[in-house]
Every structure is written in C-alpha cells, then in structure tokens.
Copies of this chain bind each other. A is one copy, B any other.
Amino acid sequence: MSPFNTFCSDTLQGFKPSIGHYRGWALGALWVFPLAQAWATEPISIISPAVVTEPAKVALGKKLFFEPRLSQSGIISCNSCHNLATSGTDNLPTSIGHNWQKGPINSPTVFNASYNLAQFWDGRAKDLQAQAGGPIEADKEMASSHSVAVATLSSIPQYQQEFVAVYGKGAINMDKITDAIASFEQTLVTPNSPFDLWLQGDKSQLSAQQLKGYQTFKQVGCTACHNGPAVGANSYQKMGLVQPYQTENPSLGRYSVTGKEQDKHVFKVPTLRNIEHTAPYFHDGAVWDLSQAVEIMAQVQLGQTLTPEQTQDIVAFLHSLTGERPQIVLPALPPSPFDPLHVKR
C-alpha cells in the first residue's frame, strides 16, 4: 500500500493508477504528502468517480430507473421525481404523482444519494435498495404494488432475459429489481467540483470570495452538520434547533420512524452538493432563493444573523460544490408484447 493510499483510502476507492502515474511518483511524492495532510484537516472531503464493476447490472438498473411501466398509470418512473436532466430532483416544492396528487415532502436529489446515511428525509430506508421499493407502491407516487411491478416486468421477454443474464436463473422479484436500481443509482455521483479540485491542490479553482465564504461557512458552524464527502447527508438534525422553523408541512421526520418525542421535526441533513441546481430548498421546498435558505439556516439552526456579505460569500462557496454529472445515455426500454398494464385492470 502506498503512502498516498494510507491517507486517502476512503475517498480514493477504485483509484486506478496509470503507468504515467507511477512515472510521476518520484516528483509526485514531493507534493502528495503535504496535500494529503492539508486535505485531512478539512471537514469536507472529495467525492470519487463511480467505479462500475457490474456494467450489465447497472445497465439493467438504468432501464428500470426510467421504466414508467413500474407505475400504475404507465407514465411515472423513478426519473419523474428524480429527473437526471435537471438535478436528480424535480425542482418542485413537493412532487406531483399518481392522479396528480401532491407528495408530502420535497423530493431529494438522487445524485450522490449513495452517500446518505439512510434514505428518505426521515431515514426510514437503510439504503438505496430499501428506498427503491417505496415509491412504486406509494399511493401518491407510482401507485402500483410490488406484485404488479414484478408481474409487469415478467411479462416483457427482454427483461426476462436481462434479469437472467444479471442474476442467473429464477423468477424476477423485488429484491432483484431494487438491487439493480440501487446499482445504477450508485453510479450517480458528481465528482470534480471546483471545491473538490481545490481540495486536491488546485488553488485556482476557488475565487477569493468563495474562499472567504468557505471560511465563514466553517466559522459560523455550518460544518457541524454539513461535512463529509456529501457536505451533509451523514446525520439527523432538528429543523429549527435554536429557533422554531415555521412551516405548513406536517412531516414529523424521524418521529415517524422511532416514535420518540425528541425525534419530532428531526430530518436527515441534506447534501449541499450541486445545491445551486436543487431548489426549492428544505423538506417543505418552501424556499427558492439560495441566499434566503442560507440566512434561514444560520438563524434557526445556529441562532446567527448573517450580514448580507457573509451570506453572499457562503452562496459563492456553495456554487463551488457543483460537480460533473455522469453522462446518461437514455436507455432503450424493451417493448411489451401486449398491454403491459393489463395485470392491473
């Protein structure tokens, strides 16, 4: 194991050194040591590009992610509320689902969701696979059922073949469906943001204002919750910790999972990665303006009133968290030999 890996084993998973890389080691070692040490002292760490080890499973999962026949109506897919053409979300306060029903809570982005300590705002699903089955049978979302979803996919010959190719013989089931979707979602990471490149030593990536904003972000205490590779997503916190947060949204957060009084209005801290793209903000999707979101957070979570300059500096810093989106080639979904939704009627 190289000294490089000693320092960066978590964030460089899947790092594949090229021949050129080894050639550069003699010189590279001179700057890698100080860099790795500096990096280790920052509360935010980089996101690494996805490493695909099972491309057939990921390809199947991508099809299922875009598969509207998983919904009762045949028009709603994972991509409806977690639109990969926008920001992995739908940019609505709350989503519009089956029969035009409004969802109860803001759709979080699927980009970098593999870094979440658990899924959904209240963390009721332990991982991406556990999450993927939820919307399929939620009345206000896809409004189908697991048995119908399995029957629908099983009625499509090409899916039959693809599931066998990926999972071996045996019937299609929800475990396989959600495993494939989760495998695809694990590839939806956005590395190489200006801030990541800055963390790795390219100091030209942040402007003076962004650097000042980052210092303010740390000094006022934002990093207490917004830290790690996802700049959040690794803890739960009460919304309105210091001052009450006013909202008409009835969600009770972790309380719905634990039943504990102290978990009322406790939500998973959202990622700040690509935050300029994921408006509107908060679990109620009430705020569109990023400056206003920063001011409110400082107020209700930290009891601090930011100056306009501090706010704008932090916003400038937050823009440096926009990473490279994975290139998504739209899958070609297989045809149905007959009405694929017949099993529901």
Contact = CB atoms under 8 A, between A and B. Distances in A.
A332 B324 CA distance: 10
Interface in A49-94: 66, 68-69, 73-75, 80, 83-87, 90-92
A83 B68 contact: yes
A280 interface: yes
A179 interface: no
A68 to B, nearest CB: 7
A61 B244 CA distance: 45
Nearest to A276: B335
Interface stretch (A15-23, A225-233, A296-304, A336-344): A336-344
A335 B276 CA distance: 7
B68 A86 contact: yes
A339 B280 contact: yes
Given A68-B83, A99-B100, A91 B336 contact: yes
A327 B289 CA distance: 36
Contacts of A90: 68, 74-75
Copies assembled: 2
Contacts of A335: 87, 276-277, 279
A212 interface: no
A329 interface: yes
A325 interface: yes
A328 interface: yes
B338 A288 contact: yes
Contacts of A288: 336, 338-339
A331 B95 CA distance: 21
Contacts of A333: 85-86
Nearest to A99: B100
Interface in A18-58: none
A96 interface: yes
A277 to B, nearest CB: 5
Contact of A92 (B75, B91, B279, B329): B75
A279 B340 CA distance: 10
A330 interface: yes
B92 A336 contact: no
Interface string A274-304: 0011011000000011000000000000000
B91 A80 contact: no
B68 A96 contact: no
Nearest to A331: B85
Interface centre among A73, A280, A325, A339 (most CB of B within 10 A): A339
30 contacts: A66-B85, A68-B83, A68-B86, A68-B90, A74-B90, A74-B92, A75-B80, A75-B95, A75-B96, A85-B330, A85-B331, A85-B332, A85-B333, A87-B335, A99-B100, A100-B100, A276-B335, A279-B335, A279-B336, A279-B338, A280-B339, A288-B336, A288-B339, A289-B338, A325-B332, A327-B329, A328-B329, A328-B330, A329-B329, A329-B330
Interface of A: 66, 68-69, 73-75, 80, 83-87, 90-92, 95-96, 99-100, 276-277, 279-280, 288-289, 325, 327-333, 335-336, 338-340
> Which 7 A-B pairs have CB atoms at the shortest separation, nearest pair first?
A100-B100, A328-B330, A288-B339, A277-B335, A66-B85, A85-B330, A288-B338
